[in-house]
Structure 1
Amino acid sequence: MQLMNKTYLPTLFVFATALILTACTTPPYVEPKGGKTAEMVVRIRPARGTLYYLNTYENAESCSGEQTIISDANRISVSKFQFATDKLTTLRYMEMRGSVSCFLSFSFYGKSEHVYALDTVTTTGLCSVRLWDASNMKTLEPVSIIDRKLGENACPNFKR
């Protein structure tokens, strides 16, 4: 007795792969509908041939409930989004190219009705982010960020 016809094997493989990939993806970020908010303008300059993500968390303290804000590949991206303020916000920036990856997780406290500018730059072997308060375009002010990748402030899934 034959359990599975060979013609069904490719279909089964495609279905299983799709199921696994769906389980691993994060849901999209949904901007707040009310309350105190600020705007984040993002400029991503990735390394050549990379896939990148900018994610946030429903719970910024515990880094749980991850949501994707931006996901793209190999292109400079300029975009913007609204986020809730007067509380901790945690962002995670990741770039991946083959088996090489770079990721940064950081938190900050946004102020309502402000405009923030997030700039990412990737060079050989190094990715970085800069966060500015751009409410007054004549005088960009650096925003103090908390590194969430290492040390006592690390997101639970990044502790080593």
Structure 2
Amino acid sequence: MMKKNFISSLCALVTSLMLSGCLNAPYVEPQSGQTAEMVVRIRPARGTLFYVNNYENAETCSGEQGIISDANRISISKFKFAAEKLTTLRYIEMQGSASCSMKFSFYGKANHVYALDSVTTTGHCSVRLWDATDMKTLVPVGIINRDKGENACPNFKR
């Protein structure tokens, strides 16, 4: 019985570390070129951990980089990202042994401000993306779901 609990705990720890971005390289904001800004507004339930990661290669979802790692608190975070090209992000929530993860892509416009909100219900998480350049009028931004099958990132077709 003790061995089974140890193995379960070890598996949970490894999963947590993988999802938390501890095993991912940290995200570095672009230092030149056209950029946009992302404001992340997450209100997690008590005891919920959440993470936002970026992919260095947005088309193949490779080179995952940790942007935001937050635990058990309201978060309003922001970061800059390269604009006028495909961007792929991964949003992850963890509460106890339950987790939810989704990958999505979009094209950001230069000098725009975007707002990312999470929408979580029992057994399901999703995100909403808004163009918040004009804070008086939030405009929904279409996102492309990149989760297919075993949470893989399928080939991207323009």
TM-score (norm 1): 0.78
Shift of 1:46: 1.6
- Structure-2 change in CA distance of 1:73 and 1:28 (3 Å): same
- Aligned CA-pair RMSD: 2.1
Does residue 84 (structure 1) correspond to residue 82 (structure 2)? The answer is: yes
Which of 34, 42, 45 is the aligned partner of 1:44?
42
Which of 27, 31, 34 is the aligned partner of 1:33?
31
Q: Report the Cα distance in structure 1 between the residues aligned to 2:45 and 2:121, rounded to whole angstroms.
A: 6
Shift of 1:105: 0.8
TM-score (norm 2): 0.79
Partner of 1:12: none
Answer whether contact 1:88 1:110 (CA < 8 A) is retained.
yes
Alignment of 1:136-147 (within 5 A): 136-147=134-145
Q: Report the Cα distance in structure 2 between the residues aligned to 1:39 and 1:100, rounded to whole angstroms.
A: 31
1:52 is paired with a residue whose SS is: strand
- Structure-2 change in CA distance of 1:39 and 1:83 (3 Å): same
Q: Deviations over 1:28-78 (max 9, x none)?
A: 110000100001011112222122110001000000000011001111110
Which of 103, 109, 112 is the aligned partner of 2:110?
112
Structure label with greater radius of gyration: 1
Does residue 58 (structure 1) correspond to residue 79 (structure 2)? The answer is: no
Structure 2 gaps of 5+ residues are: 1-12
Q: Report the Cα distance in structure 2 between the residues aligned to 1:66 and 1:32, rounded to whole angstroms.
A: 15
Shift of 1:24: 5.9
Work out the number of aligned pairs and report it: 135
Q: Report the Cα distance in structure 1 between the residues aligned to 2:126 and 2:62, rounded to whole angstroms.
A: 23
Structure 1 gaps of 5+ residues are: 1-16
Q: Report the Cα distance in structure 1 between the residues aligned to 2:61 and 2:45, rounded to whole angstroms.
A: 26
Partner of 2:147: 149
Q: Deviations over 1:80-123 (max 9, x none)?
A: 00000111000100011232111111000000000101111323
Partner of 1:129: 127
Q: Report the Cα distance in structure 2 between the residues aligned to 1:45 and 1:106, rounded to whole angstroms.
A: 20
Please tell me the residue identity of whatever aligns with 1:112: A
Alignment of 1:86-105 (within 5 A): 86-105=84-103
Answer whether contact 1:46 1:121 (CA < 8 A) is retained.
no
Q: Report the Cα distance in structure 1 between the residues aligned to 2:137 and 2:78, rounded to whole angstroms.
A: 20
Q: Report the Cα distance in structure 1 between the residues aligned to 2:76 and 2:120, rounded to whole angstroms.
A: 15
Q: Report the Cα distance in structure 1 between the residues aligned to 2:44 and 2:93, rounded to whole angstroms.
A: 7
